[in-house]
Amino acid sequence: MDQKYQLPFKVGQTTEARCLEDGYRGAWFRCKIQEISRRGGHWSALLQYFDYPDERQFTFLISEF
């Protein structure tokens, strides 16, 4: 069964991501959504950071605050 989902985010959209890593905990970074996928019942997004263009892209679980 193919279901359509209404997500508050779209591929290509500019957004902000919050980091929870030690040393960066609570920091916010500007980024662009490259890909959105659903795995194991959870939504995730592949993000590209504007301020760190040479860094590899990261995939994060999507949550909205």
Domain boundaries, the chain: 14-61
Q: Between residues 60 and 43, which one has the greater pLDDT?
A: 43
Q: How far apart are CA 55 and CA 4, in angstroms?
A: 33
Q: How far apart are CA 63 and CA 1, in angstroms?
A: 25
- In the predicted structure, residue 61 carries a pLDDT above the cut 80: no
Tens digit of each residue's pLDDT (9 = 90 or more) over 18-33: 887 788 788 888 999 9
- In the predicted structure, residue 3 carries a pLDDT above the cut 70: no
- In the predicted structure, residue 13 carries a pLDDT above the cut 70: yes
Sheet holding 28-39, edge to edge: 14-18, 28-39, 42-49, 58-61
